[in-house]
Amino acid sequence: MNRMQPIHHPLRTTLFAILLLAATGSPATAEVTVTMPGPWGDYDETLDDPAEVDATEAFQRFRQQSMQGTSATYRSIEQILRYGAPFAGQLPDLARELARRGDDIETGFAQETPAREGEPGALPKAWEDPEFSAYKAAFREATAELQRKVDAADDLEDEGFQLRATEVLNGVRHQCLACHDNYRRR
């Protein structure tokens, strides 16, 4: 069996830091190419230069990526409940993940990092408007309600349950859209 040589700790740490920064969104002004070792061979990856990405930009990118993950979790649940994707058995894990993201909504807004003028993202008023807290709380409650509905279900594949759960999922979506309409530039 052909085994790869172990990656040295400093290389692993550097690669992790570069990947973390690269996975966070829009390109910075400078890029670097890093050879990424893998079990099927090495490949070159072009990433934002970590020296060019400041902490505020990384925080903002983290929030954007996290929100995309929240959307992906929501959309996965939607495919099961609304469109009949045959993965009802995954609803408990997905609902738990969405509720966890609801509980964690404060994290993405802990630091004032609005999008740059003209770019999509959070508007400055998200940090200026005291009512923004109510939007975050309503999102947390909507995701928790969906988790409670899924956890209480006797049969995740039952059409009646899926219809009632879809109504609760619509409530989660309403919270997303209401917040985006007021606090996000598209």
Q: Are residues 174 and 108 part of one domain?
A: yes
Q: 3-class DSSP state for residue 44?
A: strand
In a domain, 171, yes or no: yes
> Domain count of the chain?
2
33 lies in a domain?
yes
Would residue 2 count as lying in a domain?
Answer: no
Per-residue confidence in pLDDT tens, the chain, 186 aa: 444 444 444 545 544 555 555 554 444 468 989 898 989 999 998 888 888 888 898 999 999 999 999 999 999 999 999 999 999 999 999 999 999 999 999 999 999 999 989 999 999 999 999 999 999 999 999 999 999 999 999 999 999 999 999 999 999 999 999 999 999 999
Does residue 114 share a domain with residue 81? yes
Q: Where does residue 97 rank: exposed (0-12), middle (13-18), buried (19+ CB within 10 A)?
A: buried
Instruction: Give me the CATH number covering residue 86.
Output: 1.20.120.10
Domain span at residue 37?
Answer: 9-52
| Under 8 Å between Cβ of 59 and 111 | yes
- Contact assessment for residue 105 and residue 139, using Cβ atoms and an 8 Å cutoff: yes
